[in-house]
Amino acid sequence: MKFMIKEGKDWKLNAQEQSKKIWKGKPMTCPIWFDVKVFLKRERDLAGGLKVVADSFQGIVYEDDKQITEMTLHKEFDKENPRLEIKVESL
């Protein structure tokens, strides 16, 4: 059974909407590299949120997050403009 707080659900829906606007091709079927830069307002744990990020692009950018064979994670701080910058490339 999966549980997600409302903030997480809202974030995931927004991420899916944004990725549909940007990603114009079919979902990739190959192994992929997932590069995530997280700009936070304050210190936070990233491990749990990373799964939500990867799940958000399933069926849009790639077929399944199991295709992610390499991942790079960068944590930085930007109190004025917290955001995610995500790059997905085929391997």
- pLDDT tens per residue across span 48-82: 678 888 888 999 999 999 999 999 989 999 999 98
pLDDT in the model for residue 3 = 56
Q: Please give the Cα distance from 63 to 49 (Å, whole number).
A: 20
Q: What is the pTM of this model?
A: 0.77
Q: Which fold has domain 6-90?
A: 60s Ribosomal Protein L30; Chain: A; (3.30.1330)
- Kindly report the number of other CB atoms within 10 A of residue 61's CB atom: 22
- pLDDT tens per residue across span 34-44: 999 989 888 88
